[in-house]
C-alpha cells in the first residue's frame, strides 16, 4: 500500500473552483464554487475529475454544491453578464508543488465526468511541464468500441483491496483503504440519468474525494470515486466509483471531440423504486416524451397529470427493446447504449386501456401490449455545452 501510494500520489490533483472579481480596494475577491479531486490522465497535462466538481465553473448561475444535484437552470448566462454579476469563474488545479489555472476540454453530465487541460508549457522556461500520468490499464480494457460494447470485464472481485486517494474536506493527498463491496451498482448523475456498472467500496469517501482515483492494491486505476450513500453527507461506508472502462471510453471522446453523443429515445422515465410504489414491478414507465422526438411522432404515450397532484392516465410501460426485456430504467439505458444514433428500434409497451364512461383518474380498466417502432436520435446536450439545454436531454 505504501508503495502504491508513493507511486500514484504525485498524479493526484486538488481541484479548486471559484469566482474571482476585483473589490473596491483593488484586491481580488474569491467566492468558492466547489472543491474536489482529480488525477493526471496523460503527459499532455489533461486532468480527469467529476463534472459536479467543476459545475460551478461551467455554469456559475447554478448553486454551489459538493455533490451531484439536478439542473436548476436552463443554461449559463452570457459571458459578459456572468462576469458583471458573478465574477470570472476560475479552476485552479494543484499537482505536486504546481498550482495552475485549468481550462475545460469537455464534460459529460450523464456520466459525471469532466476533462481539464493544464498549461503544457512553462512561460518562464519555455519548456514542457512535467505531469506524471496515473497508472492505468492498457490493451483490451482501454480499447472499447462503444460505450455499451460487450467486452471482457475488468478483473475485479468483491472483497479485494481498494485504495482511494483524494482531498476530503480539503485535506489533499489523503489515502483511505477498504475493499470492493459490490459490483454493477448505479448512482444518479447530475442530469438525473443512472450511471450503471459502477464499483461500490467501503473506503472512507467524503466531500472533496469526488474525482479522485480508486486504485487496486497494486496501484492501478480501477475507477473514479464519484458519489456516496449517506444520510449526513459524510462517509457511511458506501461509496461509488465510475469504472475504468467507462472512464476510458468517455475521456477518449471528450479529448477528441469535446463532447459525447449518445443515442436516446427522447423520453423521461420514472425511477424503478418509485415505479414499485405505484404497483409497476416490471418495465419502465414513460413520464414524458419530447415533442421533437421520433418517439413522440411514433405514438409513445406520456403520463398525463390530473387535478391537483393526481394522475389522469399512466403512460406507456416499456417492456422490451428489440426483443431484449427491460425490467428497470438502468436496463433500458444499457440496451439503448448498445445501439447507434439513427438505429430503428422496436419497443414493446404495455398501454392502459381508455376508461369507459368518462371521468378522470387512474383505473384498472386493463391494458394491452402494443409495438412501437421509432428511431434513436443523438443527444449532445450533456457533452460539452450545457447541463440542461438540449431538447432531447435525457434518455
HSE (side-chain half, CA atoms, 13 Å) at 120: 7
The per-type count for the chain, helices as H runs and strands as E runs, is 7, 25
Listed in sequence order, the residues at least 6 apart from 2 whose beta carbon sits closer than 8 Å to its beta carbon are none
Annotation marks residue 65 as catalytic? no
The answer to whether 52 is a known catalytic residue is: yes
Active-site option among 210, 216, 293, 320: 210
Placement of cell 492505468 in the chain: 136
Catalytic residue among 16, 112, 202, 316: 112
Q: Is 210 a catalytic residue?
A: yes
Q: Are 363 and 387 a contacting pair, CB within 8 Å?
A: no
- Residues 6 or more apart whose CB falls under 8 angstroms from that of 13 comprise 37, 38, 39, 40, 47, 49, 93, 94, 95
Q: DSSP assignment of 274-317, as one string?
A: HHHHTT--SSEEEEEE-TTSHHHHHTPPPPEE-STT-EEE---E
- For residue 108, what are the β-bridge partners? 113
Decide: 76 and 104 in contact? Cβ < 8 Å.
Answer: no
> Which residues are paired to 185 by β-bridges?
198
HSE-CB for 226 with a 13 A CA cutoff: 35
26 close to 19: Cβ distance less than 8 angstroms = no
Catalytic residue among 52, 186, 328, 390: 52
Closest alpha carbon to 163 in 207, 113, 224:
224
Q: Which residues pair with 187 in a beta bridge?
A: 195
Contacts of 309 (CB under 8 A, 6+ apart): none
Active-site positions?
52, 112, 210
Amino acid at each position: 500500500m505504501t508503495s502504491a501510494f508513493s507511486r500514484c500520489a504525485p498524479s493526484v490533483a486538488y481541484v479548486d473552483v471559484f469566482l474571482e472579481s476585483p473589490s473596491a480596494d483593488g484586491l481580488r475577491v474569491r467566492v468558492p464554487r466547489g472543491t474536489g479531486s482529480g488525477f493526471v490522465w496523460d503527459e499532455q497535462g489533461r486532468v480527469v475529475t467529476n463534472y459536479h466538481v467543476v459545475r460551478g465553473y461551467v455554469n456559475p448561475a447554478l448553486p454551489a454544491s459538493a455533490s451531484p444535484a439536478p439542473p436548476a437552470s436552463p443554461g449559463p448566462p452570457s459571458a459578459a453578464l456572468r462576469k458583471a454579476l458573478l465574477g470570472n469563474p476560475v479552476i485552479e488545479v494543484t499537482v505536486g508543488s504546481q498550482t495552475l489555472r485549468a481550462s475545460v476540454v469537455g464534460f459529460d453530465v450523464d456520466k459525471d465526468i469532466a476533462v481539464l487541460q493544464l498549461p503544457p508549457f512553462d512561460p518562464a522556461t519555455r519548456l514542457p511541464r512535467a505531469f506524471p500520468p496515473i497508472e492505468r490499464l492498457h490493451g483490451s480494457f482501454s480499447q472499447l468500441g462503444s460505450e455499451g460494447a460487450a467486452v471482457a470485464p475488468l478483473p475485479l472481485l468483491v472483497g479485494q483491496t481498494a485504495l482511494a486517494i483524494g482531498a476530503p474536506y480539503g485535506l489533499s493527498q489523503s489515502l483511505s483503504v477498504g475493499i470492493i463491496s459490490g459490483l454493477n451498482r448505479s448512482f444518479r448523475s447530475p442530469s438525473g440519468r443512472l450511471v450503471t456498472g459502477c464499483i461500490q467500496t467501503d473506503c472512507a469517501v467524503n466531500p472533496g474525494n469526488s474525482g479522485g482515483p480508486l486504485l487496486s492494491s497494486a496501484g492501478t486505476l480501477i475507477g473514479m470515486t464519484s458519489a456516496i450513500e449517506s444520510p449526513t453527507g459524510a462517509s457511511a461506508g458506501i461509496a461509488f466509483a465510475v469504472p475504468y472502462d467507462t472512464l476510458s471510453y468517455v475521456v477518449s471522446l471528450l479529448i477528441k471531440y469535446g463532447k459525447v453523443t449518445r443515442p436516446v429515445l427522447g423520453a423521461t422515465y420514472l425511477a424503478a423504486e418509485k415505479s414499485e410504489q405505484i404497483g409497476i414491478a416490471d418495465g419502465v414507465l414513460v413520464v414524458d416524451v419530447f415533442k421533437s422526438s421520433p418517439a413522440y411522432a411514433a405514438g409513445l404515450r406520456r403520463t398525463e397529470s390530473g387535478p391537483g397532484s393526481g394522475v389522469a392516465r399512466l403512460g406507456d410501460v416499456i417492456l422490451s427493446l428489440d426483443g431484449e426485456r427491460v425490467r428497470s430504467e438502468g436496463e433500458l439505458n444499457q440496451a439503448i447504449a448498445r445501439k447507434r444514433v439513427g438505429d430503428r428500434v422496436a419497443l414493446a409497451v404495455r398501454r392502459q386501456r381508455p376508461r369507459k364512461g368518462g371521468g378522470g383518474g387512474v383505473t384498472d380498466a386493463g391494458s394491452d401490449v402494443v409495438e412501437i417502432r421509432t428511431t434513436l436520435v443523438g443527444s449532445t446536450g450533456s457533452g460539452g455545452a450545457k447541463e440542461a439545454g438540449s431538447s432531447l436531454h435525457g434518455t
